[in-house]
Amino acid sequence: MSAHTIFERAPLGSIVAWSDGTPRPPERHHRKLGAWKTSNSQGRLIRKQGPLGARLVDPHASFTLHEADYGAGGVIAIRVHRTFSLASSLSFAIIERPAVGSVRVFDRAGGHAELVHLAPHRAAAEHWLSEHGYPNAVLEEVSADEAAANTVEGRAPA
């Protein structure tokens, strides 16, 4: 899939993989493997920036994936996000969509909101929120209608 297709079809909270199509180098080639992983990995879709309408795509539109967290003792020291332009030449695939009934936790309302957590249900989302303190957080449940729309439009889970 193209970056444009991911922007149009992947719901926030989906796991998205990207690849440049090159084969994975052997484990013993640490530098080559590290460079390869930059262009071949996966992450959770946490944000879409820029409007997308019928035949109107912002040339600066992009999406952001949360790739990894690094830290110790329950404290995250580094959070790795990757932002891709719709003009990206990489290939993308939707690995997993959020389950019906799961709850997205956004850091705020509005167009600049970013997904900070995907909980399996509302009680888990509220518990997570009580421990992580986002004062302007917004909860959004993944509905059966959203899943049905994906199936009707030919977007059955990948």
157: phi then psi, degrees, rounded to nearest 5: -50, 135
**Identity of residue 95:** I
In a domain, 20, yes or no: yes
- DSSP labels, 14-69: -EEEEE-SPPPPPTT-HHHHHHHHHSSEEEEEEEEES-EETTEE-TT-EEEEEEEE
In a domain, 31, yes or no: yes
In a domain, 60, yes or no: yes
The tens digit of pLDDT for each residue in 92-128 reads 999 999 999 999 999 999 888 999 999 999 999 999 9
Domain count, the chain: 1
The tens digit of pLDDT for each residue in 6-28 reads 999 999 999 999 999 999 999 99
13 is in which domain, residue-wise? 1-97
Report the DSSP pairing between strands 75-85 and 115-119.
unpaired
In a domain, 128, yes or no: no
pLDDT band at 77 (very low <50, low <70, confident <90, very high): very high
Looking at the chain, how many residues does it have?
A: 158
pTM for the model: 0.85
In a domain, 130, yes or no: no
